[in-house]
Homo-oligomer: A and B are copies of this chain.
Amino acid sequence: MSELDHVGIAVPNLTEALALWRPITGGTESAPEDVPSNRVRVVFFTVGGTHIELLEPTEPGSPIARFLESRGAGVHHLAFHVPSVDRALQEVAERGGKLVDRVARPGARGRRVGFAHPTAFGGILVEFVEGP
């Protein structure tokens, strides 16, 4: 069984989004973190056994900026905790699923991460997150 590590939500403005979500999530938020490889600034809330990640684009034309332009603010991806990102990606490919990343790369919070293509999960962008 995989655990849901977090739900990633694309937001145009982190400060405004934090004000909306704090009444639900309480005072559980992480310090904002820049993730240059994805051109985003992120904050994580702890919500029970999982997390909500708010993602604000740091550059026009970046993946989150383009998502916001085409679909508006909303859930961008679901991230599952796996023992090995490389193996999880390989298993998706072996089932015939398309991948965004063929192998793991550095993500937020110092974790190794990798994305399948949305078509591999019926329209949902799935991220795999490794350890601890």
Interface, chain A (partner B; CB < 8 A): 1-5, 7, 9, 11, 16-17, 20-21, 23-28, 46-50, 52, 71-75, 78, 80-81, 91-92, 95, 120-124, 126
A–B complex contacts, Cβ < 8 Å, 25 sampled: A1-B25, A1-B26, A1-B27, A1-B28, A1-B47, A3-B49, A4-B7, A4-B48, A4-B50, A4-B52, A5-B48, A7-B78, A9-B124, A16-B122, A20-B120, A20-B121, A24-B126, A47-B80, A48-B49, A49-B50, A50-B50, A73-B123, A74-B123, A75-B78, A75-B124
* CB-based contact A75/B75 at 8 Å: yes
Copies in the complex: 2
- The complex places the Cα of A5 from the Cα of B52 at a distance, in Å, of 12
- The complex places the Cα of A73 from the Cα of B71 at a distance, in Å, of 13
Residues of the B chain whose Cβ atoms lie less than 8 Å from the Cβ of A126: 24
